[in-house]
Every structure is written in structure tokens, then in C-alpha cells.
Chain A
Amino acid sequence: MTLVFVRGVFLASCLSLLGAVASAEEAYPPDMADRVQACTPCHGEQGKGTNDPYFPRLAGKPAGYLYNQLEAFKSGRRKYPPMNYLLAFLTDDYLRQFAAYFADQRPALPEKPPTDASAAVLDQGHALVTQGDLDRSIPACVSCHGGSLTGQEPGIPGLLGLRASYISAQLGGWRYGTRTATAPDCMQLVAGRLTEDDVRAVAAYLANQAQPADPAPSATGSYSLPFACGSQPEKGRTP
């Protein structure tokens, strides 16, 4: 097994010589799926999600975002006791491998569940997601999470394949300060400007979107951010 792993690292080094972005610390062993079995009851095989509305899909989210969350659960910054407990005694290097593994997975999005939101609510969600609300200084979701909402490397997550209840719980967590990210916490700024109705509309709209043609996150720097974000540092901009 060590041999296989060493070979993986070796391959990764060759790839990086060829100009690919793989780095040794992100190389994970071929049996990584076995090592992350503890994640599957809640997040599904390959992190594709389950029918349970409270557990998010992990597959295909940018590795930087996934690592930030794993690290936040490990340190207790992001509070969810079953996750805090599972990760408490794993190393940062190993958590980077978890993140790289789930970022590489591309299982199909789940069937989108039937929505119980009205057309008016979905319209309000559509407007906020694609245009934002200038009068209230709310940027559109697409301005950071990408035009196809599949996220942006390295730190901004995709928003598709998640259930409305999960999205509204996370936006609620940000509004009330129970979920935070590295300062400056741009998402807290945005969520703080949303009303409960906005949250309901955005969550319903996002959960109702179909599989995009290309599920991969946008490349780093594809979209310049409206605010400085601690988890997505940009060149020439001090967070």
C-alpha cells in the first residue's frame, strides 16, 4: 500500500512537471474511497449526497472549500458535533487528501426533488441568484459562485445538488453568526443583508436547478469578487 501511495506521489510530481496543478500534498492513495467510508452514511457514495435533506453533497466542490470546512469542523469553528467528533484527531495533511478526493468525484446530480415553492417565490429567487439586489447591496450568487453555479476554485463552493432545507439552514447560520469563515467573512456580509423571505426564495430556486452541462467549478480568478473574502484571497488585494 505504501508502495502504491509512493507511486501516486511520483505520478503527481510527473504531472506537475508537465504543468498540471496537482501537488504532492493533495495526492491521495488509490484506496481513498475505503478510507472515507465514514462519510458515506450521511454524504453518500463518492459524496454524491443522500435523500436526507440536512446533509450536503460534497462531490465536485473545490478542494480548497472542502478543506476549509474540514479544518473548521476539526477546530470547532464550524459546529456540528458528529463532524467535530469524527475529525478531531486527523492531521491537516490527511484532511487535504479527503478534500482532494471529494473534489475529484463527478457522480451525476441527484434527481431534483419536486418543489413546493410558488412561481412568485422562484422568480424572486431567480432574480437574487442571477442579478442580486443593487438597492440593498446584495451581489448576485453567480458573481462569485459562477455563472453555472458550480463554484470557483479554490475556495467557493458549487450550489447545485443541495436541498432547500440545507441551503436555508446554512444562510440562516451565517445571518445569526453560528457559521463563520476566515475574516473578512464575505458570506456573513451578504447573508446579513438577506431577509427570511430572501433566504427561502434563494434556497427554493437553487434546489430546483437542473444538472449543468459541465459540473466542474470555474477556474481561479474567473470572477472578480465584489468583496474581499478571507477564504478566497485574490492577487493584488489584501483581505
Chain B
Amino acid sequence: MSARFRFSTALVVSSMLAIAATLVPAVAQSPQSGDVVKKGEYLARAGDCVACHTAPEGKLFAGGRPMPTPFGRLYTSNITPHVETGIGNWSADDFYKTMHSGRFPDGGLLYPAMPFGSYTKVTRDDSDAIFAYLKTIAPVRQTNRPHDLQFPYNNRSLILGWRTLFFNEGEFKPDPKQSDEWNRGAYLVEGLGHCGMCHTPINALGGSRESEAFQGGLIPMQDWYAPSLTSNKEAGLGDWSIEEISDLLQKGISTRGAVYGPMAEVVYNSLQYMTDEDTRAMAIYLKSIAQDEPSPPKPSVRTEEASLLISLGKTVYDKHCASCHGAEGEGKPPHYPPLAGNQSIQMESAVNGIRMVLNGGYPPATAKNPMPHGMPPFAVTLSDDEVAAVASYIRTAWGNRGTPVSAAEANKLRSAPLQ
């Protein structure tokens, strides 16, 4: 509804402008091209272009944001329409080639930090709309900063090998056996949403295989675990309602849990702007891919040690956590998530739970949840033993089926990057 409201305001403003334009010669823009630009702006949101192509305190889409990778540091490029330093000289064909094939206009190869492995699924029409939108933003003179990669990764021809192993070029092909809604969701999740960049395991070569799509993995350089979207034991949404999934994606909070860490960024910059229809479509697709039931993880902490940990954990929990999350882990949803039955706490990887205890965090402020409640960071007030104890307690209490964690695991995450 609010989108429609904005649209009608835009119409009023544009008719006023049209009246004013009788006095000033303006650049002619047909209503149709205006619609294309609007669509492009929306799709650029869906693709979260801004998150990487705008530096902190930098100009919109002028690039220059450092992207740490295991192979060195990349700097994102200027995608404003500046003729010399941006993409002002590009054609729509050039732009499509970059999105679809991962090649610059001169044929040069893009590093796969740019998610062309996902963007290749974007249709030509949608690529053209994004390009039309980018042409309307303010051109910024800012020369691209050279990448700072270690030998041998500074040799771009290596990308050819990477492409052979991991890149499947081709637009999204709808599955005729599924509904239009499902196909729209799949297109957004697999294409512009580039969810697989984090939620598919990344191997030592920085690649991910289609056969392992959305199975989750530790995000390199960030030390957050991107849970599997296909396993109901992790972030698999098989037993969530469509409304709960939609809330998580669009508001950043739901009655089942909230987003945090890198996913808070995605909701803040991208998903909160999706229409209710597109959000629902993604929810339907995501619910459908969650099915399998992997075998329960084995505890890595010895039993006697674990029972001591868990009894200390209950003491810490009652003192610091129960006032919000409830004596029985029931929470006060949606602002204080339930911990009992919460998948993200019981996953084999305990990284995210430990990090939430150490670093706390706010879910993103979104149009539908503009004033989120935040989790306090306990890095300063709790010792490694206490962090491990409380994490072990919440992973195993109230019928939760996680495993205990050690103080060493908690200590290791104290130095995890906080960006």
C-alpha cells in the first residue's frame, strides 16, 4: 500500500513538473522510460548493488569499498554513469555481458567476488532496466582503485580455471511444474538475490558447486556461519509459515527468530524494499527447498565437562538472559526471539550463537520495524568459561538438540572481525 502511495505521489509530482516544463526545455523522457528506471531501481535493490558498490561515507555507487577475501583485498568499482571513471561509456549490451557472462566490455574477466554466477540468471529485460536506472544516478568522478591481491591470485587468467569449475552461464529457466509465484521466488533467490554467495559452501578455491546449492557454510573472512537453507535443522524454513518467513525477510524479525550479522545488512539494504508479492514468492520458494534431515551432530566436549558447563550455564542464563528470553527460553516474540526450538542455536556450527552472546546486535531498522530492540554484547562482562557455559545451556535446554561448546571455541571468536 505504501508503495502505491509513493507511486501516486510521484505521479502528482511529475504532473506538476510537466506543467513547469512548459517554461523550461527539459530532457524528453517518455512515461515508459520512467517506468523502466523505477523498475531498474527496484531490481538494483533486489540485487543489493549498493552494499558493495558504495564505500562507507562514500558517494552512492562510486565503488571503492574494500572487500577482504582469502586471496587478498579487492576494491569495488564505480558504477555511476561517469564517462571516464564509471560506466558512462557502456552500452546496455556491455552491461548485460558483465552481468550475464562476467566479462568487461573489452572481454576482460571479472573476479567472482562480483556475483555474476548468480546474476547470469537475470533476464535481458531486467538487466536493461537496472542499466537504465544506473544511467540516471549522479555521475561521480572516482577512479577505480587497483586490487591488492597476493601472488598468484593477482593473475586474472586464473579466473578462466575458476570459471571452468564453478561458472554455469545461463538465464533462469522457469520450472513449468511449479507455480508462477514459486518461479518468481526462485528467480529472485537464485538470481539477483545471490543468496547462494553465502548460503552455499565455499571451498578452498573460493568456488561453490551447484550440487551443494544453499547447503550453508562459514562465510570466509567474516566468521559468521551462513546456515543451510535446505536443512530444517539449520535455516531450512520447511516448518515455518509463509507469514513467518516473509516477516523475517522484510521486517528483519519474526515470531520464530530475527536476522543478525551479515543477514541484517541484506535486509537493511535490500530485502525490506521488496514488495509484499515478491517477498511472499521468495518465502514460497525457500519453504519448498527445505526438506532433508541430516544425522544429529556428535558432541565434541566430554560428558562430565559438559554437565559442569551446563550447570554454570543455567546460572549465567538466569542472571543475564531470562529477563528477555524467558525462564523456559520462550522469549517475547517478535522483539525478544524464542531460544527454545530455535534452529539457529542448535546447528552443528555454534559460531552464530557464541557471537551473539559476545557481540550482541540489533536486527536492522526496517520500514516495518523501524525501532528494533537489541541484544546486549557480553564480551566484556562474561569470561570465556561463562560464554561457553551459557551457549552450551541454550543449545541443550528445553528440548534443544545442539551440542555443548568449549571455552576455547568461545575465546577464538573474541577476535572475529566485527564489520
Residues of A within 8 A of B (CB): 29, 34-42, 52, 55, 75-77, 81-82, 84-91, 93-94, 97
Asked whether, in the complex, the Cβ of B374 is within 8 Å of the Cβ of A86, the reply is yes
Asked whether, in the complex, the Cβ of B419 is within 8 Å of the Cβ of A89, the reply is no
Asked whether, in the complex, the Cβ of B377 is within 8 Å of the Cβ of A81, the reply is no
Query: Smallest CB-CB separation from B364: which chain A residue?
Result: A89
Collect the chain B residues with CB atoms within 8 Å of residue A37's CB.
Answer: 324, 373-374, 376
Question: Does B244 reach chain A (CB closer than 8 Å)?
Answer: no
Residues of B260-287 whose CB lies within 8 A of A = 264-265, 267-268
Asked whether, in the complex, the Cβ of A38 is within 8 Å of the Cβ of B362, the reply is yes
Interface 1/0 per residue, B382-417 and A, CB below 8 Å: 000000000000000000000000000000000001
Closest 8 CB pairs of A and B: A38-B374, A89-B364, A81-B418, A89-B268, A85-B418, A76-B56, A91-B365, A38-B376
Residues of B327-368 whose CB lies within 8 A of A = 359-365
Asked whether, in the complex, the Cβ of B371 is within 8 Å of the Cβ of A52, the reply is no
Known interface pairs A38-B362, A81-B418; A93-B265 also in contact (CB < 8 Å): no
Query: Smallest CB-CB separation from B58: which chain A residue?
Result: A75
A-B contact pairs, 24 of them (CB 8 A): A35-B373, A37-B373, A38-B377, A39-B376, A40-B376, A41-B381, A76-B56, A77-B57, A81-B417, A81-B419, A85-B361, A85-B418, A85-B419, A86-B374, A86-B377, A88-B264, A88-B268, A89-B268, A89-B362, A89-B364, A89-B365, A90-B372, A91-B370, A94-B365
Query: Smallest CB-CB separation from B264: which chain A residue?
Result: A89
Asked whether, in the complex, the Cβ of A89 is within 8 Å of the Cβ of B377, the reply is no
CB within 8 A of B377: which of A29, A42, A77? A42
Size of the B side of the interface (Cβ < 8 Å), in residues, is: 29
Question: Does B375 reach chain A (CB closer than 8 Å)?
Answer: yes
Collect the chain A residues with CB atoms within 8 Å of residue B363's CB.
Answer: 89
Asked whether, in the complex, the Cβ of A52 is within 8 Å of the Cβ of B380, the reply is yes
Known interface pairs A81-B419, A86-B361; A93-B370 also in contact (CB < 8 Å): yes
Among A41, A77, A93, the one with the most B-chain Cβ atoms within 10 Å of its Cβ is A41
Collect the chain B residues with CB atoms within 8 Å of residue A85's CB.
Answer: 359, 361, 418-419
Asked whether, in the complex, the Cβ of A89 is within 8 Å of the Cβ of B373, the reply is no
A45 to nearest B CB, angstroms? 12
CB within 8 A of A41: which of B57, B365, B380? B380
Q: CA of A28 to CA of B141 in the docked complex: distance in angstroms?
A: 40
Q: CA of A84 to CA of B372 in the docked complex: distance in angstroms?
A: 17
A67 to nearest B CB, angstroms? 15
Collect the chain B residues with CB atoms within 8 Å of residue A75's CB.
Answer: 56-57
Q: CA of A178 to CA of B265 in the docked complex: distance in angstroms?
A: 26
Q: CA of A182 to CA of B365 in the docked complex: distance in angstroms?
A: 25
Q: CA of A13 to CA of B377 in the docked complex: distance in angstroms?
A: 35
Asked whether, in the complex, the Cβ of A90 is within 8 Å of the Cβ of B376, the reply is no
